[in-house]
Amino acid sequence: MSIFVGQGYLTLVLETGVDLTAASSILIKYKSPSGTRGTFSGTLSGTSKIVHDFTNTELNIAGVWHFQSYAVIGGLNAYGEIVRHTISSVI
């Protein structure tokens, strides 16, 4: 599936394989192609999936983006695998 700069109506789902129902914080960490790092809000889907619905302004740079699930469970940090996805320019 191709994803484009400025695309909305796009949902990122990260399966963690960990029960997150007791998590006090659920986020998706990212690194953009420019090297900027930050977080997107995440919501729990089921017991182990973190979901984020992108707005038209969030994926604003073409190139390879890195995404990583992050949660705090019982005061401990829990990190998921890093997922890479290429965001393409529009013509």
Please tell me whether the overall predicted TM-score, pTM, comes out greater than 0.75 for this model: yes
**Along the 91 residues of the chain, how does pLDDT read in single tens digits?**
799 999 999 999 999 999 999 999 999 999 999 999 999 999 999 999 999 999 999 999 999 999 999 999 999 999 999 999 999 999 8
**For residues 29 and 80, is the Cβ–Cβ distance under 8 A?**
no
Report the run of H or E that residue 40 belongs to, with start and end.
strand 37-41
pLDDT for the residue numbered 1: 77
Q: pLDDT digit string (tens) for 14-36? A: 999 999 999 999 999 999 999 99
Tell me how far CA of residue 10 lies from CA of 34, 43, 53, 62, in angstroms.
21, 14, 6, 16
Enter the DSSP assignment of 22.
T
Pairing between β-strand 43-45 and β-strand 49-54 as defined by DSSP bridges: antiparallel
CATH topology of domain 3-88: Immunoglobulin-like (2.60.40)
Where do the structural domains in the chain lie, given as residue ranges? 3-88
pLDDT for the residue numbered 7: 94
